[in-house]
Amino acid sequence: MSYENGSATGAPLLTDAPAWIETRVRDRVERGDHTVFVCEVVGAGLKTPDFAPLLLSSTPWNYGG
């Protein structure tokens, strides 16, 4: 799998992905056996403008709330 280093953080970004996002961790919240990381977006882009994302509404899944 090929990657390039992100310009803002140096994190690996997959070169074959249709889009990318770079974040910096700002906080972390631990609850039970889960850890949620709160991040700030520092970079994002779209490599394939005509890419059709998988939407929750097009799957049999649903989340109540």
Q: How many residues does the chain have?
A: 65
Residue 41 in tokens: 């977006």
**Higher-confidence residue: 47 or 65?**
47
Q: What is the pLDDT of residue 18?
A: 94
Q: How far apart are CA 44 and CA 54, in angstroms?
A: 18
In which band, very low, low, confident or very high, does the pLDDT at 53 lie, cut at 50, 70 and 90? Answer: confident
Nearest to 23 by CA among 35, 11, 15, 34: 11
Give the whole-angstrom CA distance, residue 51 versus residue 43: 19
* pLDDT above 70 coverage of the chain, percent: 97
- Label residue 56 by pLDDT band (50, 70, 90): confident
Say what the alpha-carbon torsion angle 62, 31, 34, 32 is, to the nearest 10 degrees: -100
